[in-house]
Amino acid sequence: MASQTQHHLASFLFTGLLYTFVDADSVKPPLPACPSFNCGSLTLSYPFWQTGGAQQSEYCGYPTFGVSCAGQEPQLHLSDHLYRVKQIDYSANCLTVAYSEVNGRACPKAPHGFTLDTSSFFNYTTDDKIVRFFYNCSLFPPSLQDIECLRYGVKHSYVFLEGAIPEFDWQRYCESTVIVPVIEKTVEGALVDGFGRALEDGFELIWKSESACQLCEASGGYCGYRNGTYPKFSCFCSDGRHVSYCHNDIGEVSIKSEQNFVAIGVLILGALIMASTVFYLIQKKRIGVQKHGFSQIPTGGKLAQ
């Protein structure tokens, strides 16, 4: 009776496991709703997606393109800091961002530097220039013009275009150095006098698609990213989710093949579990019979010759 119960339990667990794996992929997941949204004076849409109160799914855009709309301007998280999104040109895949901390200040100070990671979806544009700030220098060349509004006692601060920095031991005598991208036209003429406007206007970034996204978007779909049974990347189309691009029968076959592969794997695993269970029950029964036979031999008796 116990062996029959164990056999039925193993069959039940195997059947439930098979149903869970196969049925989970047989249901076609719905497409996420990814409408455009307004924030301040801008209308944002794919590949940007909204975070916060009216949060959209990350399926609606690239992984790091989540935009917060808590204030008057949308904010984008870049290089571990929030930046104000001032303008977006979807035809050129270009956006203009600026430091959130310098908004509206008469004599702003760059709070931190900005660098692009090699794995970033962004690149600088040809209109960007790099400038370097040297803050609170205790010793400095007396012939150079400093930033007057940033003087702190006897300490002076300076700004130069990258590549045009006068020779001096700036790192030794200045408290901090900050490297900042700015739009070239904002630093034409006197950089020292126009640095505030340059920081206020920000800098430009052009976003790029990975090769999988380019193929998907060219076919009329949009990129989505998720973990789970489906690949991390999926192409969302009007007729459902595809593995590479819209109207791709091969892609749909690939998904079905993946589902069949998983189902076959589960069947093999289940067969091994059941075989192990049967083997265990047979061995257990055999050992029990042997023990029962030996128990019939009287103490001090002899086995039949």
pLDDT for residue 267? 61
Quick one: pLDDT at residue 144?
94
Q: Among 14-18, 202-206, 211-215, 238-242, whose mean pLDDT is lowest? A: 14-18
pLDDT for 57 equals: 67
- pLDDT for residue 54: 60
User: What pLDDT does 69 receive?
Assistant: 86
* Sequence-separated (6 or more) residues with CB below 8 Å from residue 90: 45
| pLDDT score for 233 | 77
Helix (H, G, I), strand (E, B) or coil at 172: helix
- Residue 154: pLDDT over 90: yes
Structure tokens at 280: 């265990």
User: What pLDDT sits at residue 25?
Assistant: 37
Looking at residue 151, what is its pLDDT? Answer: 94
Which pLDDT band holds residue 162 (cuts at 50, 70, 90)? very high
**176, pLDDT greater than 70:** yes
| pLDDT tier at 270, thresholds 50, 70, 90 | low
- Quick: pLDDT tens for 285-300: 666 555 555 444 454 4
CA distance 230 to 213: 16
Mean pLDDT of 69-88: 88
What residues contact 192, with CB distance under 8 A and at least 6 apart? 145, 146, 147, 158, 159
pLDDT digits (tens, 9 = 90+) for 1-49: 444 544 444 444 444 444 334 333 333 455 656 778 888 889 998 888 8
pTM: 0.67
In this predicted structure, which of 47-51, 86-90, 165-169, 232-236 has the lowest mean pLDDT? 232-236
Cβ-proximal residues to 111 (8 Å cutoff; 6+ apart), any chain? 99, 101, 102
Position 253 scores a pLDDT of: 39
Question: Quick check: 214 pLDDT over 90?
Answer: no
Residue 4, H or E segment:
helix 2-26
**Share above pLDDT 90 across residues of the chain, in percent, rounded to a whole number:** 34
CA neighbor of 131 nearest in space, from 177, 170, 176, 168 = 177
What's the pLDDT tens digit per position in 182-201? 999 988 777 888 899 999 99
Distances from the Cα of 221 to the Cαs of 2, 74, 237, 243, in angstroms? 57, 25, 5, 11
Q: Say how far apart CA 272 and CA 157 lie, in whole Å.
A: 74
Distances (CA, A) of 144 to 148, 158, 167, 185: 12, 8, 11, 23
For all residues of the chain together, what is the average pLDDT?
A: 76
Tell me the C-alpha distance between 101 and 84, whole Å: 9
Q: What is the pLDDT of residue 279?
A: 60
Percent of the chain clearing pLDDT 70 (strictly above): 65
pLDDT band of residue 66 (cuts 50, 70, 90) is confident
List, for residues 94-146, the tens digit of each pLDDT value. 999 999 888 777 889 999 999 888 778 899 999 999 999 999 999 999 999 99
Give the model's confidence band at 207: pLDDT under 50 very low, under 70 low, under 90 confident, else very high: very high
Q: Which residue has the higher pLDDT, 215 or 301?
A: 215
CA distance 59 to 190: 46
